[in-house]
Structure formats: C-alpha cells, structure tokens
Structure 1
Amino acid sequence: MKDKKYTVVDLFCGCGGISRGFQRTGRFSIELGVELEPHPIQAFAANLTNHALKPPVAYQGDIRQLVGPEAVDNFWEWMRPTGVNAPGELDVLVGGPPCQGFSRNGVRQYLANGAMRFYDDPRNHLYRAFLSAIGELQPKLVLIENVREFLNFGGGKFSEDLLAKLDELGYVADYRKVCAADFGVPQMRHRVLFVAVRRDFANVSLQQLPFAKPTHAKGSSQMDLIGDVTYRTVRDAIADLPEPVYKHGVGIKYPKARRQISAFAEAMRSPTGEVSNHVARKLSALSLARINAVGTGRMKHAPENLQTKSFYGSAYRRLAWDEPSLTITTWVYHVGSGRFAHPEADRCVTMREAARLQSFDDDFIFPNLINPVSQMIGNAVPPLLAQAFAATFAKFLDKHSAQAERLTHSRKNSIIAD
C-alpha cells in the first residue's frame, strides 16, 4: 500500500505550493490544477508531475466555467486524462478559495439576513464553486487553506456555515489554526486549515481527522510537548546561497567552499548545483538610507527626515538572521512593504531567498519576472506545511483504503459462498 500514489486535484492552485508539498512526500500524483492567472498556472505545469512523471492537466480560467450553475466547460472531459472518471474516485482535493465577501458591509448583510449563507453572497461565488467541486468530485479527503481572519468574521458564522455545508455534502470536517513555523517553515505565517473526510470512506470522529502535528517549537517552554527542535531561522533558510546577480539569465552555482549548511538548506538544494531566480535589484539611495536607519527596529524610530508619511509597522526592516521571517507577502520584492530587507546586504531579498523562506525547494523554477513571481510566492501555501499534512493524509489513506479493500474482499467471498 505504501507504494501507491494517491491522486490530487488542486483548485485555485496558484503556482502549486500545496501540490509541491504533496508531491515531495513521494505518495501523491498531482493530476489537475485550476488557476485563473496565466503565470502561476504555467509555473504549476512546469514544476509539478503526475504518477507518470508528466505535467498535470492545467486549466487556466475561472473555476466557475468548470463547476456550478455557470459552468460552460465539461468538467469530466477535463478530468478524463487524469484517470479519475467518476465521483468518489479522487483521493484528495486541495485549495484555498478566496472570499471577497469578508468586508464589514458583507458581515452586516449576513447578520441582518440569517437566511443568506456566506457562500450565497454573489461575491463569494468562487467559494461556492469550490464547494460545488467537492459535491461533483466527492473526494475522499479535502484540505482547505485560508487566512485565519476567516474564523473571526461574522462572529464565526462563516466558518460555521462552511462546516455545515461540508456536513451536508457528506463529510466529517473541522479546522485548526496553524503557524507555518511549527512545521519547519522558517516563517511566522498564520493560517487556518480545514480538513474533511467523506463519511462513506471513513466515518471517523472529529478527533480522528488527519491533522498534522507540529514538529517545531518557539522555545524551551514547548519542547517537552513536541521534541527538542526549535524554529528554523532566516540563517537556516538562506545563509548558504551564493551572492546574487543583478541580471536575469546569468547562471549561479552554490559556493564551492563548503559552508556550514543547515539541514533545511540541504533539503532545499538542487542536485544540479545551480540556483535560479537569485537576482537582486539595486535600491534607491533613499530606500537604502531607510533600511540602514531602521535596521531590525521600527520605522517610527528612524530620523523624521527618513520616515514616510504612512507605513507598515515592519516597513524597511531587515530580516534577523536568527529568527524566522515574518509573513512573506505578495509585496516581498519591495523593502517599503514589510520586513523584506536582507539581514546584512544593502538590498531586498531575491525571489529565490523569498522562495526559500516559503520552503520552496531550489528545483522549483519561477519565470524571470519580479512582480508576478512575488505574487506567486506570497500567495502560496508553504510546501513544507502542505507536506506535513500530506504525510498525515497518506497514512490515513493507507489505513482506510486497506480497510475498504478488506471489506470488499470479504463481501465478494460471502457472495461466492452463498
């Protein structure tokens, strides 16, 4: 059973952070990705593979064209090349559907009209399409990622409705608030993950749902709970990388002289010995003055002549070598938009350094474009976080698939005996 590769479909896949994590376990075949934007879906198709080591099917377009009342394409025609031919055959459906109806006005409307569920709000039709896909495919397991603020809107009514809808669709479901650093990602990134199991596949209790358990802790107070493994740091993530170049298309190799390399960096390195997307950009004199004035402190402590009229709390801050990074966002290419300045060098982090902080391995190649790649990396689920859940999913599928096969075999023998 442990040699079996389970099938995965990734909706709102972006460049494929969740899928990369599932693929890295060696237990999953990435069959299909759906994404609206062209650059991310191209990166998804270029970096992910199915069981035959071929690119997965990649659908660029609005998911509502595939499933739900507005669908114009035949969903099962797109599924045919994957080998998943009928409802219930897919092993895992993953994705992070956006919800635009999280505005304060949306919450007021929701609360004023109790009969209107959040997925019926026209602004949340993308979310409704994701739920339609669950109903259409009937996967054995579902993994849904979202910002943790999802749990707070409407006094928790949105998350309650999601769980109620999953229950209606035949799933046992629950959620956990997670921090990526707890799973070995060198980044303090907080999200919420929902896990759902189809009842007729495994009718488990909420306590038996396959949630991954943390493997790392912030400090000694938590060590007894999960073992003696502290959070990974910026140093662990990027200190082994060579000096960047300032021009795309220039080949870079890892330094010949062996520096002390962290276990994390060793796992991220490419066997080709080459580093891509490690391109720096020169800062303006003003931006350089600001990051040197702020350092690892705060903009509000910088001289007044260097302060901007308005700024994020972490604007122009340098990363600290011996701490995890803060959340890597879609603005990671700009030092004024967060704590994205290199710990020592007078520059912003490169896209490869940002990818490392998100736990993308160096074999994951991005196009030579700064803004689209920054969007891809910032929007992605850290692959190492996804990998932790994927490993737990694989064990769960092994166990319950074997039980289902034994039950089927027993029934066949009973019929023959009769």
Structure 2
Amino acid sequence: MRRTDSKIVAIDLFSGAGGLSLGLQQAGVHVAAGIDLDPACEYPYEHNLGSEFRQKDVASVAGAELMELWGDAQYRLLAGCAPCQPFSSHRRGADTSDETSWDLLSHFARLVRETSPHFVTMENVTRLKSMQIFSDFVADLEELGYFVEYGTLYGPKFGLPQERRRLVLVASRIHEVHLPNGDFDRSEFKTVRQTIEGLRPLKNGESDPDDPLHSARRLAPINLARMEASIAGGTWRDWPEELLAPCHRKASGASFQAFYGRMVWDQPSPTITTQAYNFGTGRFGHPEQHRSLTLREAAMLQGFPHDYQFVRPSEKPTMKAVGRLIGNAVPPAFGRAVGKVFTEYVKTLVKEKA
C-alpha cells in the first residue's frame, strides 16, 4: 500500500476499477482500501492504486471493519458510488425497486451511522436526486449532524473530455463544505482530439500490438458501410436509404438519433457507457477512422491515464468485461475535484490551529 503523509484517509465503497479512488489520490487523499463485490475489480484496483481491495458485498460490511482499515487516521473519509443501474434514465420508467442493488445506498448510510467519518462523499446518476431513497440518505446524514451539499457536476468544467453530468454529494460533520465549481471555461474544455489523437491509427478490426486495449471491434459489412457514410456530429439521416435500420424507418425513428454516430474531434465526447466500443449503442464512432472506439480510447475519455491497466498481462481483455469496468467507473476528474474540497478544508484547519 502506498502510504502518504495525507491527513485524510479514505475508504471507497463500490470502488469498481478505481476511478474515484484515483481521483482522490490525485488530490492528496490517502486511500486505504476499496470494497466491491466484483472480482474483476481486484487487479486494476490494486495494481494501479497500490491500495488494498476487498471483494465483499457492502451490505455485509460492518463499521468495525472500516474502523480497522482507517486505523489512526486523523480525518476519515467515506466515499462511494452505489450501483446506479436501478436509477438510470436508460431503464425507461421500469419499476426497479425490487432489485438487490436498490437498497445499497441505505447500507452506505448505515456505515456512516456506525463509524461517524469526518467526511462523506457520494456520486451517482442525476436522476437519483428526485428519488425518495436519496432524500432519505440526505436526511440521515443531517440527522447525524452532517453539513450536506449536493448538486450536478458537469464533466468538461473539471477537465473531463466528456459530456458527463453526475450527481455529487459532499458532507462534513466538522463544518459546512461546498461543492467544487470547476476551473474550466467552455473555451478550455478538453476535447476528443486532445485526448486520443496521439494513439496509433487503426482500421476496422485492427489491434495495436503494443496495447491490447487499443483494439477496434470488427464491424459487420452493413455497419462498416454505415460508418463510412457517417459524418462527425451527424446522425443516421446522413445515410443513403439502403443503409437505414428498421428502427430508423419507423415514425419513432427520430428518437434514435444518438445512436450510430461519430464523435467530433474538437468537442468533448458524449457520455462513455459500458458499451462505448459498440458503434450501434451511441455516438461511439471514431471522428475520422472507419471504426468504433477502442477500450483504451473509452478509458482515456473517461479520464483514466494512458497506462491504466484493467487486466493482468497474462489475460486477454474482452470488450464486454473491460467495457463494463470502464463505463461503470467514476471519472477520476470528479474524485480529484471532491478530494480537493476536503484537502483544502483540512489545510485551513491546520493553519487555524497553528
């Protein structure tokens, strides 16, 4: 474990492959451990972060275990992003309240009650803000004496080359804290070009021999023809009639304009999902090469460093498994911004005591 002299020690619940933890580390927070049920997260978490990974269901974690992990930390931070699938707008109004992940936010609140960390932060989809389970979470924190602030953060304002909006909460039981505002103006937003243009050019189905994650999924002939007919920032309406899919020919086809599209070089990318390697599931066509995004490009647009490893060198990465790790990750840029909220506050406390 990489021990730092940070006065804040964090534990990352629902840690995934380590996006939130990486951002916290970049802000100067020491991350003691990540906890997640998915065994595929262990290697990327421990290899890239040097912190302990515990494969556990957060519902089975007790406060005493967290206190042991924090040790003698001067300030304790409990961070996490409960699985967002039940709250996602992609579920199109389905009743998801009976899914097992629905009550994980309640277990987050339970662990706050059991351990009383100095700071708490949570990240999730924006839709969660309007749900009772989130209102209950905020009420629990306030009842425990926490100052709470939450709102929607927009990725490009924090240096993320991606049009991602997420609900972020920060809380402190010492004094009020506030959400970060973001340091980037629109003219400074990081773009797709600035992020991935330096990678090796690839043809449809081609792989970079030096990076297993930089591999383009082979498109079927019909989709390759659609890719070749696509314009950066355009829609399927740019295609000739013979390339249209059945859904495009229906009256409701107008609602599918975010699918089968190319990204634009000089703009942030659309939100990276678990299937960002699939041309047909979003605007995931390369801006000019006739292919879908690679896993490496998706990871970099999500804010991970170029050398971030998701599988062991002896393993062959699969699109589905690694795509899930990348798409479900908290962009490190959000973790870094939130981490700075707490580290700057602690620096102020230290100065006041000096």
Q: TM-score, normalised by structure 2?
A: 0.85
Map of 2:22 onto structure 1:
20
Do 1:95 and 1:145's aligned partners in 2 also have CA atoms closer than 8 Å?
Answer: yes
Map of 1:95 onto structure 2:
80
Amino acid in structure 2 at the alignment position of 1:64 = A
Map of 1:256 onto structure 2:
none
Map of 1:280 onto structure 2:
216
State the distance in 2 between where 1:134 and 1:37 align.
22
Map of 2:110 onto structure 1:
132
Do 2:163 and 2:268's aligned partners in 1 also have CA atoms closer than 8 Å?
Answer: yes
Amino acid in structure 2 at the alignment position of 1:214 = G
Amino acid in structure 1 at the alignment position of 2:117 = P
The alpha carbon displacement at 1:78 in A equals 6.5
Map of 2:244 onto structure 1:
307
Q: TM-score, normalised by structure 1?
A: 0.72
State the distance in 1 between where 2:206 and 2:64 align.
44
State the distance in 1 between where 2:241 and 2:160 align.
36
The alpha carbon displacement at 1:159 in A equals 3.8
The alpha carbon displacement at 1:325 in A equals 0.4
Do 2:44 and 2:310's aligned partners in 1 also have CA atoms closer than 8 Å?
Answer: yes
The alpha carbon displacement at 1:5 in A equals 4.7
**Cα distance change on mapping 1:318 and 1:165 into 2, 3 Å:** same
**Cα distance change on mapping 1:62 and 1:314 into 2, 3 Å:** same
Do 2:285 and 2:293's aligned partners in 1 also have CA atoms closer than 8 Å?
Answer: yes
Do 1:321 and 1:343's aligned partners in 2 also have CA atoms closer than 8 Å?
Answer: yes
Do 1:84 and 1:90's aligned partners in 2 also have CA atoms closer than 8 Å?
Answer: no
Aligned pairs for 1:302-341 within 5 A: 302-310=239-247, 312-341=256-285
**Any idea what SS the aligned residue of 1:196 has?**
strand
Amino acid in structure 1 at the alignment position of 2:209 = V
The alpha carbon displacement at 1:12 in A equals 0.7
The alpha carbon displacement at 1:306 in A equals 1.5
Map of 2:57 onto structure 1:
62
Map of 2:324 onto structure 1:
375
Q: Percent identity?
A: 32
- RMSD over equivalenced CA pairs, Å: 2.8
**Cα distance change on mapping 1:4 and 1:92 into 2, 3 Å:** same
Do 1:184 and 1:384's aligned partners in 2 also have CA atoms closer than 8 Å?
Answer: yes
Amino acid in structure 2 at the alignment position of 1:389 = V
1:250 matches 2:228? no
Q: 1:242-294 deviations in whole A, cap 9, x for unaligned? A: 2359677932xxxxxxxxxxxxxxxxxxxxxxx56222222221111112223
- Of the two structures, which has the highest relative contact order with CA contacts closer than 8 Å and spacing of 6 or more? 2
Do 2:84 and 2:125's aligned partners in 1 also have CA atoms closer than 8 Å?
Answer: no
**Any idea what SS the aligned residue of 2:179 has?**
coil
The alpha carbon displacement at 1:121 in A equals 9.8
Do 2:70 and 2:76's aligned partners in 1 also have CA atoms closer than 8 Å?
Answer: no
State the distance in 1 between where 2:111 and 2:257 align.
39
Map of 1:386 onto structure 2:
335
The alpha carbon displacement at 1:341 in A equals 1.0
Amino acid in structure 2 at the alignment position of 1:379 = N
Aligned pairs for 1:137-152 within 5 A: 137-152=115-130
1:84 matches 2:71? yes
**Any idea what SS the aligned residue of 1:181 has?**
helix
The alpha carbon displacement at 1:161 in A equals 2.5
State the distance in 2 between where 1:175 and 1:398 align.
22
**Cα distance change on mapping 1:187 and 1:307 into 2, 3 Å:** same
Q: 1:61-100 deviations in whole A, cap 9, x for unaligned? A: 2111114xxxxxxx534753x3526xx9652111111366
The alpha carbon displacement at 1:28 in A equals 1.8
Q: Which moved more, 1:384-393 or 1:348-357?
A: 384-393
**Any idea what SS the aligned residue of 2:128 has?**
helix
State the distance in 2 between where 1:100 and 1:342 align.
27
Map of 1:271 onto structure 2:
none
State the distance in 2 between where 1:123 and 1:276 align.
32
The alpha carbon displacement at 1:14 in A equals 0.7
Map of 2:252 onto structure 1:
none
**Cα distance change on mapping 1:180 and 1:105 into 2, 3 Å:** closer
The unaligned stretches of length 5 or more in structure 2 are: 249-255, 312-316
The alpha carbon displacement at 1:303 in A equals 2.7
1:161 matches 2:120? no
State the distance in 1 between where 2:260 and 2:99 align.
38
**Cα distance change on mapping 1:302 and 1:97 into 2, 3 Å:** same
The alpha carbon displacement at 1:241 in A equals 1.6
Aligned pairs for 1:234-245 within 5 A: 234-244=192-202
**Any idea what SS the aligned residue of 1:195 has?**
strand
**Cα distance change on mapping 1:41 and 1:141 into 2, 3 Å:** same
The unaligned stretches of length 5 or more in structure 1 are: 50-55, 68-74, 108-117, 220-229, 252-274, 407-418
**Cα distance change on mapping 1:145 and 1:234 into 2, 3 Å:** same
